[in-house]
Amino acid sequence: MYKILKKQVLSDLVTLMEVSAPQVTRKAQAGQFVIVRAYEESERIPLTIADFDRAAESVTLVIQQVGKSTMQMCQMNAGDEFATVAGPLGHPTEIENYGTVVCVGGGVGIAPVYPIARALKEAGNHVISIIGARNQSLLFWEDKMRAVSDELIVCTDDGSYKRKALVTEPLKEFLETRKEIRHIWAIGPAIMMKFVATTTKPYDAPTTVSLNTIMIDGTGMCGGCRVLTTDGAQFVCVDGPEFDAHKVDWDVMMQRMQFYREEEKLAVEQWKHQCQLAMVG
């Protein structure tokens, strides 16, 4: 069992958990993920390692409530235990000194992009970061991102905080004016990553995205996580999670991610109903 050491609500939808997981922390690196199962009956959910502390043997996970499993996780508290935390899984980010780089984080994607930005900064890069969310209440870690970036742009879709823009707008401006940009990392909702890919493509700017498809084992055993790329079908859990954004077939990926929409709705409804009954009873 894996004890939750700390819980912090980051936004209306996003919660941070620091979890004891000694077998993960020994080797964890930026860009990798873990598979988490909250309870015995829960799904196995992939979560990117947002941070880790080797001395404390803990990993930091940032969880967005999207379905029943993640809602349940976010209701758990410090002292509670997850049934499974397996990892570190997938390939780590290839960190080197590229020169000038851009890190784009959208919504909950700010969390996984943070350790990448930090590692790139430590490797001597000039780090430009762009973070964004639908509105101010969904934004988090502005300070943490500022601390590891040389330049930081913050935007919200609705303009409720800082610049009113989608992350692709400042990104395009940077690509126009800063020819020295060598590499771009983008993590966020699939649709955001897709548009980052279309934005950077005309500039031939190498762009890496971290994909978060539906997974079960996370070890290459089921193929459920597969995406179609120009190199053929790839398993996100073992061939990724990072991919060349320009090679990914985004439409196929987004369709696969939508596959259980009805089941997810049903699970959430049933669970909420049970919670209400429990409160009444």
Partner 1 sequence: MAKKTIIPKKTPMSEQSAEERIHNYNEVPFGYTEEQAIGEAKRCLECAKPLCMAGCPVNINIPGFIKLVAEGDFRGAVNLIKETNALPAITGRVCPQETQCEGVCALCKKFEPVGVGRLERFVADWEAAQGALPVPPLPPATGKKVAVVGSGPAGLTVAADLARLGHHVTIFEALHEAGGVLVYGIPEFRLPKAIVKREVEYVCSLGVKLVKDFVVGNAATLDELMEEFDAIFLGTGAGLPWFLGIPGENLGGVYSANEYLTRSNLMKAYRFPEYDTPIARGQRVITIGGGNVAMDSARTALRLGAKESIIVYRRSRDEMPARAEEIHHAEQEGIIFNLLTTPVAFHGTNGRVGEVECLRNELGEPDASGRRRPVPIKDSNFRIATDIVVIAVGQSPSPLIPKTTPDLKVAKGGVVTVDEKTMKTSKKGVFAGGDVATGGATVILAMGQAKIASKAIDEYLKTGVW
| Residues found near ligand FES in the complex (CB under 6 A) | 215-218, 220-225, 235, 237
Q: Report the residue number, 60 or 156, with the smaller CB distance to partner 1.
A: 60
The span of 130-138, 159-167, 171-179, 227-235 binding partner 1 (CB under 8 A) equals 227-235
Beta carbons within 8 Å of 40's beta carbon, 6+ residues apart: 83
Min dist. Cβ of residue 245 to ligand FES (A): 19
| 224 contacts partner 1 (rule: CB under 8 A) | yes
Q: Are 13 and 106 in contact (CB under 8 A)?
A: no
The span of 33-41, 118-126, 145-153, 159-167 binding partner 1 (CB under 8 A) equals 33-41
DSSP letters spanning 65-92? --SHHHHHHHH--TT-EESEEEEEESPP
Choosing among ligand FES, partner 1, none, which partner's interface includes residue 258 (Cβ < 5 to 8 Å by kind)?
A: partner 1
Query: Dihedral angle at the C-alpha atoms of 19, 20, 23, 26, nearest 10 degrees?
Result: 90
Q: Using CB under 8 A, which residues numbered 232 to 271 contact partner 1? A: 232-233, 238, 249, 251-252, 255-256, 258-260, 263-264, 266-267, 270-271
Q: What is the Cα–Cα distance from 58 to 63, expressed in whole angstroms? A: 16
Min dist. Cβ of residue 222 to ligand FES (A): 3
Min dist. Cβ of residue 267 to partner 1 (A): 5
Structure-token pair, residue 219: 């070890």
Return the residue of 27, 54, 178, 272 that touches partner 1, per CB under 8 A: 27
Instruction: Please tell me the total number of residues recorded for the chain in this structure.
Output: 281
Q: What is the Cα–Cα distance from 202 to 281, expressed in whole angstroms? A: 60
Structure-token pair, residue 202: 């005309």
Angle at 60 between CA 54 and CA 65, to 5 degrees: 165
Min dist. Cβ of residue 86 to ligand FES (A): 11
Q: What is the Cα–Cα distance from 5 to 59, expressed in whole angstroms? A: 10
Residues that bind partner 1 (CB under 8 A): 23-24, 26-27, 35, 37, 41-44, 68-69, 83-89, 216-224, 226-228, 232-233, 238, 249, 251-252, 255-256, 258-260, 263-264, 266-267, 270-271
